[in-house]
Amino acid sequence: MKTSRGAAILAIITAALLILPLVVHDTFVLRVLTEGIMWIGLAIAFDVIAGYTGYLNFGHGAFFGIGAYTIGILMMQAHLPFWVALPLGGVAAALTALIAGIPTLRLKGAYFAIATWALSRAIQQLALNVEFTGGPDGMRLEAFLNPLFFYYLMLITVGAIFLVLWYLLERAPFGLKLKAIREDEEGAKALGLNPTMLKMQSFILSAIPTGILGGIYAYWITFIDPSSTLGDLVSDQAVVMVVFGGMGTLFGPALGAILIFAFKTIFWAYLSDFQLLYLIILGALIAISVIFIPNGLWGTLVKRKAVARPQEKPEPASEPAALSAVAVPEEGN
């Protein structure tokens, strides 16, 4: 029943998003919706390694930037078409995760978070100092001005990411194995699991969709530079969205992405001169979420719903069973 209800809700949301551009013809609104859908994809991809595996990756933005730069370099310098370059953005992100995961996944907790943050900064510095990325001046891509194309491309891509991750993490044994590592890595090893291999698979699974979304973003925006695609803001916002929405689920990060992105849009529309204030608010949201709603919004809502649901009363015992439960005094007593 729960599965069918969830499928019905997803079908309604999908139908609404497919029809929405036919009703709303404002290019600005369509652009905002496209970016919002992209953040949902980035949040659920981040949650693979953070929520399901228990490793907080502060270098998530590096995979996004690598995908963006891969598309830019292949299209503008190698002159490959977009549809050929796009999957290669995911491949480049996967290779980066493979190489970076060998040393960093040996670390745990804050050490892993700091190591991935340092990796992201190192990649950003590399992009600033090499010529083929355009250095600090960035890179301009060939413009393709079709808002509907990018809206539907982003929607279909994020929808496919959601379905694939939902199957792997919620239906297949792979998700249970990752949760076992998250709860007790030594215990998972005692059960015969290979935590090193599973963590690497999780890291790569988180990187591939992030790189693909970065490639779509680069072609859509038509201009990329190290600060916009390899900066800390991508990782920071992904962390806030997932922690605030609820880690270890797919619906939680999606909910967090919608709410945080809506707040960001309103904030930048009216308070664009106070960039530092925005970062302070993001940090405050993480602190509030950890202290007051450690399960995130989605986890808290689900937990309250389960508590509020009335418990089924046990059926009365049948007459023979009730009679047999009564002690019968022995003769002579």
Categorize the per-residue pLDDT at 323 as very low, low, confident or very high, splitting at 50, 70 and 90.
very low
For 264-314, write each residue's pLDDT tens digit.
Answer: 888 887 776 777 788 788 888 888 887 888 888 888 887 776 666 655 555
* pLDDT band at residue 330 using 50, 70 and 90 as cut-offs: very low
User: What would the pLDDT profile of 177-212 be if each residue is shown by its tens digit?
Assistant: 999 999 998 899 998 999 999 999 999 999 999 999
C-alpha to C-alpha distances, 63 to 128, 190, 290, nearest whole angstrom: 16, 32, 26
In angstroms, the CA 121 to CA 115 distance is 10
Give dist(CA 147, CA 25) in Å, integer: 10
Show the beta-strand stretches assigned E in the chain.
Answer: 139-140, 223-224
When pLDDT is cut at 50, 70 and 90, the band that residue 320 belongs to is: very low
Kindly report the CATH number that applies to the domain delimited by 27-308: 1.10.3470
| Cα–Cα dist 244/122, whole Å | 28
pLDDT: which is higher, 115 or 286: 115
CA distance 57 to 114: 8
What value does the CA radius of gyration of the chain take, rounded to a whole number of Å?
24
Residue 200's nearest CA partner among 34, 27, 53, 23 is 53
Count other C-beta atoms under 10 Å from residue 306's C-beta. 8
H/E segment holding residue 110: helix 109-129
Q: Name the least confident of 14-18, 247-251, 321-325.
A: 321-325
Where along the chain do its domains lie? 27-308
The CA-atom distances, in angstroms, between 257 and each of 25, 123, 212, 254, 299 are 24, 25, 18, 5, 15
User: What's the average model confidence in pLDDT over 253-267?
Assistant: 90
Which of 16-20, 106-110, 167-171, 303-307 is modeled with the greatest confidence? 167-171
**Between the CA atoms of 287, 293, 296 and 298, what dihedral angle is there, to the nearest 10 degrees?**
-150
